[in-house]
Structure 1
Amino acid sequence: MTSKTQNQYLHDGTVNFVSWNIKGLNHELKRKKVLSHLTGLNAKIVFLQETHLLSKDQFRLQKDWAGQMFHSSFTKKTRGVGILIHRTVSLLLKSLCPTHSPHRWRLNPLLLVDENCTEFISKQISFFLETNTSSEVSAGILWETLKAFLRGQIISYLSHRNKLETKKVSELKSKITRIDEEHARLPSEALHRKRQALHSELNLLTTKEIEQLIYKSRHHYYEHGENANKLLAQQIHKQEVRNAIPVITNMNRDKIIDHKNIMHTFRDYYKSLYSTEFKEDNTQCNVFLDTLQLPQTDTFSVEELGKPLVLSELLDAIKSLQGGKAAGPDCYSAEFYKKFSTQLAPLLLAIFTEARDNKILPQTFRQALITIFLKQNKDLLQCASYRPISLLNNDVKIFSKIIARRMEKMLPSVISQDQSGFIKVRHLSSNLRHLFNVIYSPTKSNTPEILLSLDAEKAFDMIEWKYLFTTLEKFGFRQNICAWIKLLYTIQKFQFNMVPDKDAPCHHCYLQSPLNHWQLMLMINGIIREGLEQKISLYADDMVLYISYPQNSVPAVLTALTEFQKISGLRINLNKSVLFPVNSQFKYLGVNITSKRKALYQRNFAVCMEKVKQDLHRWSTLHLTLAGRFNVVKMNILPKLLFLFENIPIYINKSFFKQLDSTITSFIWNSKHPRIQRATLQRPKAEGGMALPNFQFYYWAANLLINISEWEWKVAMQRLHSSSICTKHTIIQLKIIYRVHLSRLKLSKMFPGQDPTCEHCNQVPASLGHMFWACAKLTSF
């Protein structure tokens, strides 16, 4: 270590650091020698380990040259760390850790299982409503005031209860101490019984404190950690997400490291993102939509949608709220609404009715907290790399759920069959099998064909509200229906989590917008298969266009998208959009699409098998019981494979399932010899098994679930005997059915006592041939 004089330090600014494990400074002579040696080294900042000094003895390190001194506060001599700083050095420590925001009150979920507390809250709700309900006070103001009133009453109740419990505990402890002293001087059975009674009373008072400590210590990990629930999922999940954000880049490309400024940078980013660019004039949107032939809602559905809300709808919506979720800005959880639903539901109904008449919801209905999570494999410095999650109040969730339940009944009749996302009785597999039909069906023409996958940039956030309202009117929705929907699309305000600033206005969509894709269909030439023209497939905002003659169609598509953006606000992220020739391989909706059907197995099932092996090897180090390992297989392995079984209709050899069963057996028994046969483990729990999934049975069930339209069935049947290549996913299913179908006749032979008669005609045994070709009830289809 280099020694420098005081003059050298003052001129060149060099600071000498010394770190020294001195193994004790209690001896006066050793202490003087150490401090003198440090003076000779011209040390400016000294780090001392194992000083073995008590907190009261730290003054012994004080020296004339030391301007600042810090020492750990321990009461044992076996440890101790000290820091000495020279008086010529000015030391300023600034923490890079996030500063805590002002405390946000949250309703303790344990209060809702306390009978005394729930009774108190119920009485306060009744008292408030009886006292303040009148025709002169609007329901919205009454609701806002009720939430503030309850918040104050709950805080007051808890404070008073805690004071009484603390006082009572202190008195009991004092009485027990006095009895112990008396019992020590003069033992007696009466004193012993009295002490036991006091101790039992003390235990009852401290039970609630212990429950709170158990809740905070996540005791559920011990009791429920291996059940098939969220706790086990968190254990096996790969911990890759970084919660802390140490640095971010703002709009001027400057790096921000201060926590408060980082949060302000995010706030400004989302404020800009959610701002509207739509012009007040709606003429262009009307002209554009008038050129399209949009389907119209039927009269009955329109009348049902426009009916006034009823109390039963509201109560059903409250019951359907998912528990265990973070609450919004008002901090009232879903469990609170469920607990007091009978008292709160009439007031909420009055609020929604009043809001429809006034065309605006109460203020807290239009507030949200935004919390963020880093997207996978994204740049940590960019705000766009983080996924925003809006935490809404549960009262607005209840209202949204009621409207969504009404809408979902009639959406299938309005939204095209090309859109399968978030529509009842439509599935993701339809898009994939639609794609398989195009790729694996031979064409006699030499027409160039491509697939264009379009990525909508934050589709649910960028859709303009006026375009949405105009589109609803063009679909035939009446004003009374649109009035309900418009309540959710008034100017909202968001508050960025951990930033105690004022709310910022935003332009944000809560519900899925009915994206209008007919204009793209009018602009492109589709790919013709079996006399039908395939143009577009959508799953929510994931869009795939089937294009022939790309030299003419692609420019027309880009022009249409540009025009569509001007009226709707929907932006296409061309950096993420991909163009695929039909004979290439790509990934769509989580499935690797290949140019050859036979390659589907290698690109999907084989890859999934390797991933399963890696995951099971990683999870084998977790301290799980046998039951916990079964639940890991059910929660993580089964959904992955079931997704492939349902969406990729190909034949899989038994070797795949043998390899899969072998891998899972090795994981379950921790690479040891199995003690129970796999067939026994696969039995239901009621029959003495562990309900271990039989993956081959799941594969059969997934492929026996035929979900195709009538024209696809007819085309498949026509080509069944004339084609050696699977041109329709229906053909693939039929081949699988021939191999694995368990008819009623076959089941009756396997399990005596089963009825072999056809369930449709009830005339002859239901053999495979009868079910597909001879049954009179089925041949008519």
Structure 2
Amino acid sequence: MYFMLIQHQQWVLVHLHHRTKLPLMEQVNIQNMSDIKITSWNVRGLRRLIKLKQVINRIKQLKSKIIFLQETHLTMSDVKLVKNRWPGQVVHASYNNYARGVLILIHRTVPFQMIKTIQDPAGRYVIAQGNILSFAVNLVSIYGPNENNPKFFEDLFLTISTLQGSYIIGGDFNCTLNQTIDRSTGSDIYKTQTRQVINQYISDINLVEVWREQNPDKIEFSCQSGIHKSRSRIDYFLVSRELLSRIKKCQYDSIVISDHAAISLNVHIEKFTNNPINWRFQARWLQNPDFVKFVGEKIDNYFELNTDQTSASVRWEGFKAYIRGEILSFTSTKAKKQKKQIEILEKQIKLLELDLTTGDDQLKQSELLRLRTEYNKLSSDAAARNLLWLKQSYYDQGEKAGKLLAWRIKKMQSDRAINSIINSAGNLTVDPSEINDSFREFYQTLYKSECPQVSVEQETFLDQLQFPTLAEDSKKELDRDLTTEEISQAIKNINSGKAPGPDGFTSEFYKAFQEKLTIPLFKMYKEAYQNGTLPPTLRQAMITLILKPGKPPAERSSFRPISLMGVDTKILCKVLAKRLDPYISQLVHNDQNGFVPKRQGFHNIRRVFNIIYEKFDAKDTALLSLDARQAFDRIEWPYLFNVLPRFGFGTNFLKWIQILYTGPTASILTNNIVSKPITLERSTRQGCPLSPMLFILAIEPLAMAIRTHTDLSGIRIGEQQHRLALYADGLIVFLTKLSTSIPNLMQQIELFGQFSGYTVNDSKSSILFLNEDERLKSIIQTPFINAYEGFVYLGIKITPDVKTTVATNYDPLIREVKATLDRWMTMPISIIGRINMIKMNVLPRFLYLFQSLPLPPPKLFFDEVNNIFNAFIWNNKKSRLRLRLLYLPYERGGLKLPNLKWYYWSAQLRSAMFYFSTEIPPA
């Protein structure tokens, strides 16, 4: 890689050596292992957004992972301001007015499993009891009373003493513990009883005041009182004595932003790794004209100096490493300049604070005041700039039904931390490294091929099927050479706001510099086609895990793997997917409604209900809902490449597919830990634009075999026999003559699975007998669940009696929507924002029911939902406008509130339209 760069411009080599972290997924962090920094700080109010941003920026500078904050002045509803900005858990106790208030912030990289919380209704303390890995701990944030109040501390310590585990107690105690040296005025004669109680309980429950333990004779103050012209040390950490050996250092920082210093300590936790987050391009820099100009010039310079004399693939790989270094250089220079200013001011402030511990010098006091003012100005200016950008984004799109509003809603939901998992030995582990290793082992096994060669059984199975094939002109269209126009269009159409692949470059970066990157991408793709393989970073992916709804979180199979591929790989996949899109419906039967243009999932659902209605209580008749085990992840590549030519794909298009599936690797991302790469030998990767269409082509031969098998009896209605309905891997089979049909069906599926990788999860598959007596006493034994009350298909509850279908589906959804809107009720969002939340999150849920169920909603449905909407829009206060006015468009004085009755009518007309507007109506 380096020879090309040396012969053109030697200084580029420096950047590449500096960024030897190119394959980010292979990094294993060995720094900061086992240490968690905990900080306690009285912030004197967080209600102003600039102040909140200042405090969060300060926490980032301190690199703290667990933070105790006091005097937040936040009410219960205000705490959402913090939750929306803090990446992790937030535990709080608030008072009923803008006073007191305490918080505990736990960063998402800390594997803290919450057991319970205790919140003081007076807003003076909050306790989070839980585990960090196998370490049981109670985190306590305290804001002590200003007056002499020993009973408060008696009650608090008695509460704490009942909790199992070690204690880390931090906060503003509003009381000195050493009356002779903890106050600048000399002996402290105030709060004697409170001091005695605190010291007594420190002794009784075996606590230690960490800073004083490490600095027995040192004089230092944590609070500056401008009113009383005095300084005192009233902010402490009290920890269980057995933790003392784990604590490396405890220190006060400068008194800035607030009139209290933050106090921090580092706790050693075995097996805890504080992993760095992989680099990711920040789209906000594209709002900076200087940055856009700088990067644009660097791109031009790179490709002018690194010409076609070298490999296009090597040139592209070198470009990504080079431009990442330049971006880091630009952004870090800006950040370092401000950081250096702040660090200099901090040092000066700290030195003056220490000088003033021995006496009051008015000149030094004035200089200290000046430095703190300068520090606060720098800090607040930075916060204001960030908020200005954020507010502009919110002004542009924040309360529209877009990504920022979705982000605000999702921030209220839990994050993706995986706190424990059952490993392959059947043991529960909480160690993040062991969790990551366990998932790596799981996916290495899952993605290892079980059928590496084309078998005789495979050929026999496929040869007996009649495959639809592409027309010659369609084949030529798919086989034509790649063009720069296609690449440019794919960049424009690729979704924004998505997580990047391992290289960190987002789609926003490609869109911003599309004109400069299209030609280099084109040349790289062209060379990759000639070589039969993509460059190394285009073959890499990061697998992130999403817990499937309703699945046990300790099971590895409960998570859906999403491949985060590089945008440069996605662009190529997008081009190929767009080419294939117009022709996929010619190759896939109309009973497959997943990922095919002009086909919808609700076609299958309506078809199921129509069959149940027509054959109500029919004997020897059943619906079989089959759950495929990790269907996308198990597709065997030798089988896939045997099937695709049978559909008539040409040599060039097939070669592109083979290139994409040559030598891919993936690393597993859990709890911010990235595993070593594994080699993929099978699967159609979830997250790739092309994968859905490849999957439905791979599953189509099974559907063909079921449709044409002579010993499988479907359900006949009129002239048509119904045998199956598919939505991607969601398969329902309609059967009669069950004693022969079911064994023959299972034989076909088992044979197909031997070479394709497709397997059925019997314990999650359901059989619904349409005859009630047969549901009570099955006429045939199967390994499937007897769905006496029905089963769920594509999110809809299928019931054996259509009379119960409406209530079964609508009633739970109404309750769910009401609970959701009640939970969002207190969010600080305008009426327009609330209506857009309804449009974005609530309307799609009801619209899906309207489209899927061929039956009208409950009689009082519209009135009930309108009442729920009214309460949410007006925040449980009296409505000021009637809903019929809110339904109107903006130009007529309305706010475009969705009228559910109109949407219902529209959905019914649209469903009918599909049957009359296509040559082949939905199955």
Q: TM-score range by the shorter chain?
A: 0.7 to 0.9
Pairwise CA RMSD: 4.3
Deviation at 1:412, TM superposition (A): 0.6
| 1:97-149 deviations in Å (ceiling 9; x for gaps) | 952224532223233222222222222222221222224x2211110011111
For 2:125, the equivalent position in structure 1 comes to none
Deviation at 1:394, TM superposition (A): 0.1
Write the mapping of 1:230-629 to structure 2, written as runs, cut at 5 A: 230-236=403-409, 239=412, 241-442=414-615, 447-497=619-669, 498-499=672-673, 502-507=676-681, 508-510=683-685, 511-512=691-692, 513=695, 514=697, 515-516=699-700, 517-523=703-709, 524-583=712-771, 585-629=790-834
CA distance in 2, matches of 1:546, 1:484: 37
Deviation at 1:438, TM superposition (A): 1.2
Q: 1:314–1:345: 8 Å Cα contact kept in structure 2? A: yes
Structure 2 SS opposite 1:702? helix
For 1:4, the equivalent position in structure 2 comes to none
Structure 1 SS opposite 2:850? helix
Q: 1:96–1:259: 8 Å Cα contact kept in structure 2? A: no
Deviation at 1:481, TM superposition (A): 1.6
CA distance in 1, matches of 2:408, 2:835: 14
Deviation at 1:651, TM superposition (A): 3.4
Structure 1 SS opposite 2:896? coil
Q: 2:665–2:677: 8 Å Cα contact kept in structure 1? A: yes
Alignment CA distance shift 1:165-1:618 (3 Å): closer
| 1:313-332 deviations in Å (ceiling 9; x for gaps) | 11000001211221111111
CA distance in 2, matches of 1:120, 1:533: 65
Alignment CA distance shift 1:617-1:336 (3 Å): closer
CA distance in 2, matches of 1:72, 1:260: 40
For 1:138, the equivalent position in structure 2 comes to 311
Q: 2:619–2:770: 8 Å Cα contact kept in structure 1? A: no
For 2:890, the equivalent position in structure 1 comes to 685
Structure 2 SS opposite 1:323? coil
Unaligned runs of 5+ residues in structure 1 are 1-14, 63-70, 174-198, 716-728, 731-781
Amino acid at match of 2:315: L
Q: 2:271–2:431: 8 Å Cα contact kept in structure 1? A: no
Q: 2:207–2:241: 8 Å Cα contact kept in structure 1? A: no
For 1:113, the equivalent position in structure 2 comes to 287
Alignment CA distance shift 1:611-1:464 (3 Å): same
Structure 2 SS opposite 1:294? coil
Q: 2:166–2:239: 8 Å Cα contact kept in structure 1? A: no
2:273 is equivalent to residue 99 of structure 1 = yes
Q: 2:505–2:567: 8 Å Cα contact kept in structure 1? A: yes
For 1:67, the equivalent position in structure 2 comes to none
CA distance in 2, matches of 1:87, 1:383: 34
Structure 1 SS opposite 2:822? helix
Q: 1:448–1:550: 8 Å Cα contact kept in structure 2? A: yes
CA distance in 1, matches of 2:236, 2:342: 36
* Larger Rg over CA atoms: 1
Deviation at 1:33, TM superposition (A): 14
Q: 2:208–2:241: 8 Å Cα contact kept in structure 1? A: no
Deviation at 1:704, TM superposition (A): 1.4
Deviation at 1:44, TM superposition (A): 10
Structure 2 SS opposite 1:575? helix
Alignment CA distance shift 1:223-1:158 (3 Å): closer
For 1:765, the equivalent position in structure 2 comes to none
Alignment CA distance shift 1:411-1:211 (3 Å): farther
CA distance in 1, matches of 2:556, 2:522: 39
CA distance in 2, matches of 1:355, 1:379: 43
Structure 1 SS opposite 2:903? helix
Q: 1:489–1:509: 8 Å Cα contact kept in structure 2? A: no
CA distance in 2, matches of 1:218, 1:300: 52
Alignment CA distance shift 1:366-1:19 (3 Å): closer
Alignment CA distance shift 1:373-1:241 (3 Å): farther
CA distance in 2, matches of 1:436, 1:609: 22
Alignment CA distance shift 1:642-1:411 (3 Å): same
Structure 2 SS opposite 1:25? coil
Deviation at 1:236, TM superposition (A): 4.3
Structure 2 SS opposite 1:623? coil
For 1:751, the equivalent position in structure 2 comes to none
Which stretch shows the higher mean deviation, 33-42 or 369-378? 33-42
Q: 1:241–1:373: 8 Å Cα contact kept in structure 2? A: no
Alignment CA distance shift 1:505-1:41 (3 Å): same
Alignment CA distance shift 1:299-1:152 (3 Å): same
Q: 1:246–1:259: 8 Å Cα contact kept in structure 2? A: yes
Q: 1:72–1:81: 8 Å Cα contact kept in structure 2? A: no
Q: 1:16–1:44: 8 Å Cα contact kept in structure 2? A: no
TM-score by length of 1: 0.76
Write the mapping of 1:614-763 to structure 2, written as runs, cut at 5 A: 614-652=819-857, 655-705=860-910, 706-709=912-915
2:206 is equivalent to residue 46 of structure 1 = yes
| 1:631-657 deviations in Å (ceiling 9; x for gaps) | 222222211111111121223476432
| 1:439-482 deviations in Å (ceiling 9; x for gaps) | 11148x96510111111111111101111111111111122221
Q: 2:421–2:428: 8 Å Cα contact kept in structure 1? A: yes
Deviation at 1:541, TM superposition (A): 0.7
CA distance in 2, matches of 1:482, 1:87: 62
Structure 2 SS opposite 1:95? strand
Amino acid at match of 2:726: L
| 1:155-202 deviations in Å (ceiling 9; x for gaps) | 3334555566778999999xxxxxxxxxxxxxxxxxxxxxxxxx99x9
Which stretch shows the higher mean deviation, 512-521 or 278-287? 278-287
Which stretch shows the higher mean deviation, 285-294 or 594-603? 594-603
CA distance in 1, matches of 2:416, 2:757: 32
Q: 1:369–1:392: 8 Å Cα contact kept in structure 2? A: yes
Q: 1:47–1:81: 8 Å Cα contact kept in structure 2? A: no
CA distance in 1, matches of 2:743, 2:214: 82
CA distance in 2, matches of 1:544, 1:106: 42
Q: 1:55–1:73: 8 Å Cα contact kept in structure 2? A: no
The structure richer in strand per residue is: 2
Q: 1:18–1:45: 8 Å Cα contact kept in structure 2? A: no
Deviation at 1:284, TM superposition (A): 3.0
Amino acid at match of 2:649: F
Q: 1:139–1:354: 8 Å Cα contact kept in structure 2? A: yes
Deviation at 1:222, TM superposition (A): 8.9
Alignment CA distance shift 1:56-1:221 (3 Å): farther
Amino acid at match of 1:249: I
CA distance in 2, matches of 1:456, 1:95: 42
Amino acid at match of 1:558: M
Alignment CA distance shift 1:149-1:647 (3 Å): same
Q: 2:440–2:675: 8 Å Cα contact kept in structure 1? A: no
Amino acid at match of 2:216: F
CA distance in 2, matches of 1:302, 1:107: 39
| 1:498-544 deviations in Å (ceiling 9; x for gaps) | 33554221233231221121112234211101121100100011000
